[in-house]
Amino acid sequence: MFGAIFIPCCIVALIGYSLIKKKNAYNSFVDGAKGSFDLALSMFPYLVAILIAIELYNQSGLNKILSQIFAPIFSTVGIPSELAELVIIKNFSGSGSLALLENIFKNYGVDSYISMCACVIMATSEAVFFVSSVYFCKTKIEKLRYAIPLALFMNFISAIFSCFICKLFI
Amino acid sequence: MNIVWITITCIGLIILIITNPNIAFSCLLNGSENAISLSLKLWAIYAVWLGLLKIMENVGLDKKIAKLLNKPIKYLFGKVPEDAKTQISINLSCNMLGMGNASVPSGIKAMQLLQGKTKFATNAMIMLMLLNTCNLQLFPATIIGMRIFAGSKNPSVIIIPTLLVSTICVFISIMLVKIFSKIFKDKE
């Protein structure tokens, strides 16, 4: 596929380019990779907090309750009620929503309208709570002001548009 | 984040105490275990990407990308330091190419460089966060891969809708952040 060929090609080109520029690609690579442990370490506490919340959210059945509450609201703006759970979990966790997407494929068929909407919703939104805590993990920012409400609102808007535009393509 | 986390954790725990107290604490441990395996995975991914990004930096390719994206970045973020611009342009181009994981290290670096002296996020930081949560990408590789795996007859049918939706949403987000930054000025 496109992605499978594209990235390795870029890497070959990059290493080739550094040979032309007479820079030591090996030293640069090792030097850069050194920072990875530090980065993973500073993200870790935030990941623990988020993943504990997600685990509790799923195990307690809060996901079912919330999606039941929001489903009628969602369906008035054109989001099928089957997708309520996905639209909500998508804000918290990327991997959790991938698992849910697989379920949707299984239950409704991969080429159905529901699955298509789910795919577009997945591809056009990102886990807000993940981004908002991980991206700021090395700063001393405590107050994100209007960022989270706005990001959540935009995810909601993108879900509405996804369902609307998929109707035109089915 | 604070309020959301406290609410979810408390309500989740209370429900579990009523319905199934045996698994309440193991949920916390499970979450933490998941975090360990996720951060190990991310460590591996970031080691590769940070290595490659360093090669890019040493041959001066990152500056070239930054120069290419100079105008849009200037419009979107206003006055930002030169090195932050470089990180922002790497972050945005990784996102557009569908390499979500590669964009995180540069995003974190950009946030570090953008922060001021206060504990309040600046408008430029919020713009970067919004552009990341909108997930602007030209080719949704992961999702198409999953569709192929699930046996779809037409896995790439989602490309055009995805492009349309993400373009509209990125446009709306930019407008909203611009409007909000007029209303809420950066705090000194």
CA distance B73 to B124: 10
Kindly identify which residue of chain A lies nearest to residue B170, measuring between CA atoms.
A154
Q: Is the pLDDT of residue A4 over 90?
A: no
B173: CB partners within 8 A, 6+ apart = A150, A154, B130, B131, B134
CA distance B44 to B38: 10
Kindly identify which residue of chain B lies nearest to residue A32, measuring between CA atoms.
B51
CA distance B162 to B160: 5
Element (H, E) at B18: helix B2-19
B26: CB partners within 8 A, 6+ apart = none
Residue from the list A43, A125, A143 with its beta carbon closest to the beta carbon of B42: A43
Q: Is A165 on the interface with B (CB under 8 A)?
A: yes
Cα–chain center distance at B75: 20
Find the mean pLDDT for residues B115-134: 90
Find the mean pLDDT for residues B78-92: 91
Contacts of range B138-144, beta carbons closer than 8 Å, 24 or more positions apart:
B138/B96, B138/B97, B138/B98, B138/B163, B139/A2, B139/A3, B139/B97, B139/B98, B140/A119, B140/A122, B140/A123, B140/B98, B141/A1, B141/A2, B141/A3, B141/B98, B142/A98, B142/B98, B142/B100, B143/A101, B143/A119, B143/A122, B143/A123, B144/A1
* pLDDT tens per residue, range B87-106: 999 999 888 877 777 889 99
Find the mean pLDDT for residues A163-170: 89
Q: Is A63 on the interface with B (CB under 8 A)?
A: no
* pLDDT tens per residue, range A13-52: 999 999 998 888 999 999 999 989 999 999 999 999 999 9
Q: Is the pLDDT of residue B26 over 80?
A: yes
Q: What is the average pLDDT value for chain A, to the nearest integer? A: 90
CA distance B28 to A48: 9
Residue from the list A31, A98, A128 with its beta carbon closest to the beta carbon of B133: A128
CA distance B12 to A92: 15
Tracing tokens 């920012």 back to the chain, one arrives at A141
Q: How confident is the model at residue B23 (pLDDT cuts 50, 70, 90)?
A: confident
**What 8-state DSSP symbol labels residue B186?**
P
Q: Is the pLDDT of residue A1 over 60?
A: no
Residue B145 pLDDT: 85
Q: What is the 3-state secondary structure (H, E, C) of B121-142?
A: CCHHHHHHHHHHHCCCCCCCHH
DSSP chain A: -HHHHHHHHHHHHHHHHHHHTT--HHHHHHHHHHHHHHHHHHHHHHHHHHHHHHHHHHHTTHHHHHHHHHHHHHHHTT--GGGHHHHHHTTT-HHHHHHHHHHHHHHH-TTSHHHHHHHHHHHH---HHHHHHHTTTTS---B-TTHHHHHHHHHHHHHHHHHHHHHHH-
Q: Is the pLDDT of residue B57 over 70?
A: yes
Q: What is the distance in angstroms between the Cα of B86 and the nearest Cα belonging to chain A? A: 16
Cβ–Cβ < 8 Å for A55, B34: yes
Q: What is the distance in angstroms between the Cα of B49 and the nearest Cα belonging to chain A? A: 8
Chain A positions in Cβ-Cβ contact with residue B22 (cut-off 8 Å): none
Chain A positions in Cβ-Cβ contact with residue B119 (cut-off 8 Å): 140-143
Provide the token pair at B104.
């995180």
Q: How many CB pairs lie under 8 A apart between chains A and B?
A: 294
Find the mean pLDDT for residues A104-114: 93
B102: CB partners within 8 A, 6+ apart = B45, B49, B52, B53, B94
* pLDDT tens per residue, range B149-173: 899 898 888 989 999 999 999 999 9
Cβ separation B54–A32 shorter than 8 A? yes
